[in-house]
Amino acid sequence: MTGKDLTRGVYGAWELACFNRHGIQLFENTLDGFWRSFRAALLCAPLYTFLILTRSLEIKTNAGGITSSVIYSISYVISWFAFPYAIYHVSRILDRQSHYFRYISAYNWGTVIQLSALLLVSLITYLQLLPQTITLGLTLTVIFGIFIYKGFIAHVGLEISRGPAFALVILDFILALIFESWTLRLLQAQPINSTG
């Protein structure tokens, strides 16, 4: 990953997070730019790992450390390609395939911003820096903000109206729930306080 790719990708994602629609122009609408945007997965891997570690305090699994690492790694890699694959077909239905590469590039780099925000909230929660009620409100605010952010990226990236953009956010959320369920099933995870 070159410094130029990193700077351009993160800066473009930040501009979109500030709801500057011109930030989309920082992402190439090319196949090469599309594939380069997956380098964001390398940048996000440490953030994802920390989030998993903090989450491991809330659940117990029947899988060993190595098995859990393999399951989480496979889930992480697949999740990075599942949404782009789904959107490839959706963009054809919406007649927006001409903007597909640009949108996915922005979406991928936007994940860096999203995971950073979630990591910050997790740190605040883990270190108990704020009262629990405030932390809960902050967490919900961040999650709601991520939904809006993803919708904005879809809106300007594919040049679609807010309705279809929101539908893509819901699709993304459903896919995330599916992967979450699949991962927990493989881990045979149960809440610590479960009586089942």
Q: pLDDT per residue over 39-96, tens digit each?
A: 999 999 999 988 887 776 666 666 677 888 888 889 899 999 999 999 999 999 999 9
pLDDT at 1: 60
Q: How many whole angstroms separate alpha carbon 125 and alpha carbon 173?
A: 23
Give alpha helix (H) positions in the chain.
Answer: 3-17, 31-36, 40-55, 65-93, 100-126, 132-157, 162-187
Angle at 179 between CA 158 and CA 104, to 5 degrees: 20
pTM exceeding 0.85: yes
Q: Supply angle C-alpha 124, 129, 135, rounded to 5.
A: 60
At residue 152, the pLDDT reads: 97
For residue 77, give both structure tokens. Answer: 């890699």
Digit-coded pLDDT (tens) for 100-116: 999 999 999 999 999 99
